Amino acid sequence: MITLAGVIGSGKSSLTRILADELHTTPFFEPVADNPVLPLFYKGNEQAAKARANGNPNASNPYTYLLQTFFINRRFAMIKKAIQGRNNILDRSILEDEMFMKMNTDMGNATHLEFSVYEELLHNMLAELDAMKPTNTHDLLIYIRVSYDTMIHRIEKRGRDYEQISTDPSLVEYYHTLLQYYADWEKNYNRSAMMVIDGDQYDFVERPADRNLLLDQIEQQLVDLGTLSSQESADLHQHRQI
């Protein structure tokens, strides 16, 4: 599998579409449009932040555990489908979900008991996925690293109200914290090969030259991992020049 990773607004879904079209494989997208919990989660974060600011240090978000369980349940089902093909693409890693839950626990948006139960569930899922994978398979994680300014610009551009710092000022702290956790997550990731993309430097959505350069680099990574042949990579490159 190929898995995309990165903060909100880094371009994971866009690059997933681009790669799936390029490699003629199947993309699997994070459930957002049909996620009834996500708007509740953002509202719960806002309410918990206000309660803590008003003297209730133990105020938590009642929707954090529900949201993160919703995500890993959907992601678990998608991964089971994705591993049945070759170079299928997921637009977020299930291990990012664990990082989100840990961060929200540290911030007081979830309890330590909720995190403990969540972590046990996730690790059971990961063990089952490992048992399902064919032997001698090699996965690639593509991490899109972006700055706060780039993240905010792209969040504003896609226009989801509940993600906007203009609507909810408490998101400024939340997004800065998220970037810090992602930096640590990147350093400690060891589950598969990782390729890091500078999302501030490369605009693979708006600039075709950037997109082609990154596709060549990603395909070389796949060749090195043995999940794409040199001839297939050369053919894909040639097709893009036509």
Q: In the chain, count H helices and then E strands.
A: 9, 5
**Do 175 and 148 touch, CB atoms closer than 8 A?**
yes
- Amino acid in position 13: S
Q: Is 65 exposed, middle or buried (0-12, 13-18, 19+ CB in 10 A)?
A: buried
Q: Give the pairing of strands 2-5 and 140-145.
A: parallel
How far is the CA of 209 from the CAs of 205, 213, 216, 227, 241, in angstroms?
10, 6, 11, 25, 11
- How many Cβ atoms are within 10 Å of 131's Cβ, its own excluded? 7
Q: Give me the active site residues, please.
A: 91
CB atoms closer than 10 angstroms to residue 146: 23
